[in-house]
A and B are shown apart, each in its own frame.
Chain A
Amino acid sequence: MSHIQDISVVNLLISFSILIIPLAGFWYFRVGLAKATVIALIRMVVQLSAVAVYLEFIFRLNNPFINLAWVFLMILVGVFTTLKRSNLSPRLLAFPLIISGITSLVVIDAFFLGFIIHLPYVFESQYFIPISGMILGNAMNHNIVGLNAYFDGLVTNQNLYYFLLINGKSKRAALNPFIRQAMLKALNPMVANMSVMGLISLPGMMTGQILGGNSPATAIRYQIMIMVAIFTGCSINLMLSIIFGNKVAFDAMGGVKRNIFRKEKA
């Protein structure tokens, strides 16, 4: 395998010039996305540059406490971003979601890093941080969809919930249609994505490993493992977020608390 061809900073900057095509398209079709795109690009560059600096530092230290603190910080950022994007109350739901994030990560990291990859040192920053980050990043995206669908469905279709609850179903059974709907909305796209992986999508991790000089066989084994880890991690995280969220989302009579949303729904 040949070594990766490095990209100079100048060439990286030049690569931005191709963005003129989509930006021109946005302008032509009056999409109104140009400003948001430029801001997102600037944020991405600043954030990734910062990540490069502190990951270098964290990797060099490779201290388990710092690694754990870093992953915990990622969980916090993920939880608060999820709550903000899905318009849910941090006061009510931050703690349940943090517990869900920690639990799902402990299960996935222990299983995949400790048992499957057989790392002698599970908190090895080279594995622990990027794999935890991939799982948390994906879990955040799917939790935004799933939790929003769940709580929005409960408030919008509260007639169904009360119909089932009062007509003899347990609270758990009355919530089942909403949980099913939320899980389908959140996880269906990932199932679809897995089913076409390699055909119409070449996953980033595999591409990165191949570009980094690893053999395609190793890259694919890692990719398969990480997809299983991500899918399981996202599913566990969403299920636990709903289960733990349910502990705080209902009043004493079984009604959905109106302040579950940042801005109350009518």
Chain B
Amino acid sequence: MSLISTSKLCKSYNGKVLFNNLSFSIEKGDKAVFVGDSGTGKTTLLRMLLGIVAADCGSISYGNQELSRMSVDKIRKQVAYLPQGVDLFANTGEELLYLLGLDFSSVSQNMVRLLLSESAIKQQFAELSGGEKQRLVTAIVLGLNRPIIFLDEPTSALDANAVNALMSLISDNPELTVVSTSHNPLWVEFCNKKITL
């Protein structure tokens, strides 16, 4: 049985059909990426899988459990989520750790692997570059150690070295299932499952 599957999913926004009858499955350990031009609904689809955005029709299942109001809390306990623009709502990595109830020890190794110094956790986001912020928040989200991770444009501010570091970190955990959106050819190449919108 697939870890995540969708059946005949459809969604329109402001009268524009984003996708229709979209069915796919993601297996445990898959590194999946939604690809497509801007405005084709990649982020919307990711958010639908998380129960943030409702589908117009079709269904989403995690294993044999359909995503619904009854199951959403249980399903969300298995996932971690990195939205876009995460630096907008916290001042430091430390503040994010506090908000999520995480210890520094659970993210320090990830930070080093993502080419960050440990002191970055205390630095104001305003003092960090876009790439440093993105790596820091990614390190924190990975520190949640959930079996499924949703990454919305995880490489949008990263240079090639940082993208390689992220891919290396994720590759070390073959059990981890990744569901992502991206325009980055390196990242798209890295993912074993491409779902085109």
Binding site for B on A (CB under 8 A): 157, 159-160, 162-169, 177, 251-255
Contact = CB atoms under 8 A, between A and B. Distances in A.
Identify the 6 closest CB pairs spanning chains A and B, nearest first.
A252-B69, A160-B89, A166-B81, A253-B51, A159-B83, A166-B76
A164 B100 contact: yes
B99 A159 contact: no
Given A169-B99, A177-B99, A255-B52, A162 B72 contact: no
Contacts of B79: 166
Contacts of A255: 51-53
B88 A165 contact: no
B110 to A, nearest CB: 14
Contacts of B76: 165-166, 168
Given A167-B144, A254-B51, A255-B52, A157 B89 contact: yes
A259 B57 CA distance: 21
5 contacts: A157-B88, A160-B88, A169-B101, A253-B54, A255-B52
B50 interface: yes
B99 A166 contact: no
B81 A162 contact: yes
Interface in B68-114: 69, 72, 76-77, 79-81, 83-86, 88-90, 99-101
Contacts of A162: 47, 50, 52, 81, 83
B43 to A, nearest CB: 11
**Which of A159, A165, A167, A169: most chain B Cβ within 10 A?**
A167
A177 B89 CA distance: 10
Contacts of A177: 89, 99
Contacts of A165: 76
A165 B77 CA distance: 10
Q: How large is the interface on B (under 10, 10 to 19, 20 to 34, 35 or more residues)?
A: 20 to 34
Contact of B69 (A157, A160, A167, A253): A253
B2 to A, nearest CB: 21
A1 B36 CA distance: 82
A210 B54 CA distance: 61
A104 B160 CA distance: 58
Contacts of A163: 81, 83, 86, 89
A125 B9 CA distance: 62
Contact of B144 (A157, A160, A168): A168
B151 interface: no
Nearest to B140: A167
Contacts of A157: 88-89
A184 to B, nearest CB: 15
A159 B82 CA distance: 9
B166 interface: no
B141 interface: yes
A168 B100 contact: yes
A164 B54 contact: no
Contact of A253 (B72, B77, B90, B99): B72
A222 to B, nearest CB: 43
Given A157-B89, A159-B89, A164 B99 contact: yes
A262 B144 CA distance: 38
B68 to A, nearest CB: 8
Given A160-B90, A162-B47, A168-B144, 19 more contacts: A159-B83, A159-B85, A162-B50, A163-B89, A165-B76, A166-B50, A167-B80, A167-B141, A167-B144, A168-B77, A168-B80, A168-B100, A169-B100, A169-B101, A252-B69, A253-B52, A253-B69, A255-B52, A255-B53
A168 B150 CA distance: 13
Interface in B129-147: 141, 144
A159 B86 contact: yes
Contacts of A168: 76-77, 80, 100-101, 144
Contacts of B89: 157, 159-160, 163, 177
